[in-house]
């Protein structure tokens, strides 16, 4: 029995198995959008993508870490109400499971049995119908062809955790599944999970969720990208949200944002993007402060999630004085999901 951890966010898919960790976008492109791709073999830079076909659908889709979407019709899985029932979400489940299974090349001729640990926003975790939808999306057989190779994954069991809990488990449990001796396990800890679709604010008292210190905003990173796009459109630029996401993520370390619409002209969007990031950071910090109200009894506030690094750290910690940003926040939750499986003995 294999153990797969999956974090199917609204902007990114994080996948973890004993073979390693992968981060792909939460959208894919129908293969015909690329036209005749035989000529791509002459390209100087190879895209890190593959062709995926699920028995659930008749079409083939291109997906992968290096997915190129410029000028193409994108199949996006972002959603709030009813997301887990959509075909697009279920295809993403199929693709993610098969992508992890392809690392077991010596076993893919047969059926690969797995247990899955995943996460859902805290509000969804409290809805029985949502957990049922998650279970239906994951449990059973998933047959996918990747670049002509057939892979079948059979999910025997699925465990769903509140998303932010994954980061705390990542702090508490080591890579062998052993629970460490850390003050976090017996403390009152805040967790701010900044994702692609939602921002989840929770608090855990000795690892028990405190329902009185919870807020969930449907204003994840996609809101920041939309705000940036709107400002750029006002200045006469034509750019889509996928280009903006790639630009913001690629330039974030240096806080310098240069974009070329044609490979010749270079435009500097640094001022606009930094201004929008600052506004976004202040808004999230304000909601965090109003949710927790006081920090006298709180050990720390851990900031995590795939979009945590889009907040301006100095700006945020000035407003939330006990905040600390999780290392590798992009994958902290999925690492925690995997460690939960190890600690529970779900791997054989």
> Which of 300, 228, 291, 221 is closest to 259 using CA atoms?
228
Percent of the chain with pLDDT over 90: 73
List of domains in the chain = 2-165+334-343 (3.30.420.40)
Pairing of strands 323-325, 300-304: parallel
- Whether 106 has a pLDDT exceeding 90, the answer reads no
- Whether 52 has a pLDDT exceeding 80, the answer reads yes
- Whether 283 has a pLDDT exceeding 90, the answer reads yes
- Whether 37 has a pLDDT exceeding 80, the answer reads no
- Whether 82 has a pLDDT exceeding 90, the answer reads no
**Cα 84 from chain centroid?**
15
As a whole number of angstroms, the distance between CA 202 and CA 29 comes to 35
Average pLDDT over residues 107-135: 91
What average pLDDT is seen over the chain? 91
Lowest mean per-residue pLDDT among 41-55, 63-77, 106-120, 313-327: 41-55
Lowest mean per-residue pLDDT among 31-45, 121-135, 267-281: 31-45
- Whether 43 has a pLDDT exceeding 80, the answer reads no
Phi, psi of 38 (to 5 degrees): -60, -30
Provide the pLDDT for residue 40: 55
C-beta of residue 278 within 8 angstroms of C-beta of residue 208: no
- Whether 156 has a pLDDT exceeding 90, the answer reads yes
Number of Cβ within a 10 Å radius of residue 334: 31
> Which of 47, 64, 50 is closest to 13 using CA atoms?
64
Average pLDDT over residues 252-281: 90
Pairing of strands 12-17, 140-146: unpaired
Provide the pLDDT for residue 249: 86
C-beta of residue 134 within 8 angstroms of C-beta of residue 158: yes
Lowest mean per-residue pLDDT among 237-246, 268-277, 278-287, 309-318: 237-246
Q: Per-residue confidence at 39, pLDDT binned at 50, 70, 90?
A: low
Output 41 or 131, whichever has higher pLDDT.
131
Provide the pLDDT for residue 71: 80
* SS3 per-residue string spanning 114-127: EEEEEEECHHHHCC
Provide the pLDDT for residue 80: 65
pLDDT in tens, 185-214: 889 999 999 999 999 999 999 889 998 999
Provide the pLDDT for residue 46: 55
Percent of the chain with pLDDT over 70: 96
């Amino acid at each position: 029995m294999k153990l797969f951890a999956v974090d199917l966010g609204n902007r990114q898919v994080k996948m973890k198995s004993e073979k390693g960790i992968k981060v792909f976008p939460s959208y894919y492109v129908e293969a015909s959008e690329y036209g005749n791709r035989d000529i791509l073999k002459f390209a100087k830079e190879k895209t890190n993508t593959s062709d995926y076909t699920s028995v659930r659908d008749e079409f083939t889709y291109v997906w992968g870490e290096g997915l190129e979407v410029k000028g193409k019709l994108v199949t996006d899985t972002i959603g709030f109400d009813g997301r887990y029932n959509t075909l697009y979400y279920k295809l993403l489940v199929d693709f993610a499971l098969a992508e992890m299974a392809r690392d077991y090349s010596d076993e893919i001729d047969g059926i690969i049995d797995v247990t899955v640990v995943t996460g859902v926003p805290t509000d969804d975790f409290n809805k029985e119908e949502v957990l049922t939808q998650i279970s239906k999306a994951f449990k059973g057989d998933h047959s996918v062809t990747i670049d002509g190779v057939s892979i079948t994954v059979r999910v025997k069991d699925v465990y769903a955790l509140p998303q932010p809990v994954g980061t705390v488990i990542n702090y508490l449990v080591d890579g062998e599944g052993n629970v460490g001796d850390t003050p976090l396990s017996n403390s009152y800890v805040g967790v701010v999970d900044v994702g692609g679709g939602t921002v989840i604010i929770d608090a855990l008292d000795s690892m028990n969720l405190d329902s009185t210190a919870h807020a969930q905003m449907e204003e994840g990173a996609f809101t920041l990208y939309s705000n940036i796009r709107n400002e750029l459109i006002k200045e006469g630029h034509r750019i889509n949200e996928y280009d903006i996401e790639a630009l913001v993520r690629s330039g974030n370390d240096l806080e310098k944002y240069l974009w070329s619409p044609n490979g010749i002209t270079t435009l500097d969007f640094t001022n606009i993007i930094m201004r929008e990031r600052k506004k976004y950071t202040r808004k999230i910090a304000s909601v965090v402060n109003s949710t927790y109200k006081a920090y006298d009894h709180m050990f720390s506030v851990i900031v995590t999630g795939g979009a945590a690094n889009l907040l301006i750290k100095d700006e945020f910690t000035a407003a939330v004085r006990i905040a600390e940003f999780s290392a590798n926040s992009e994958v902290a939750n999925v690492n925690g999901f995997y460690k939960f499986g190890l600690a529970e003995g779900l791997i054989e």
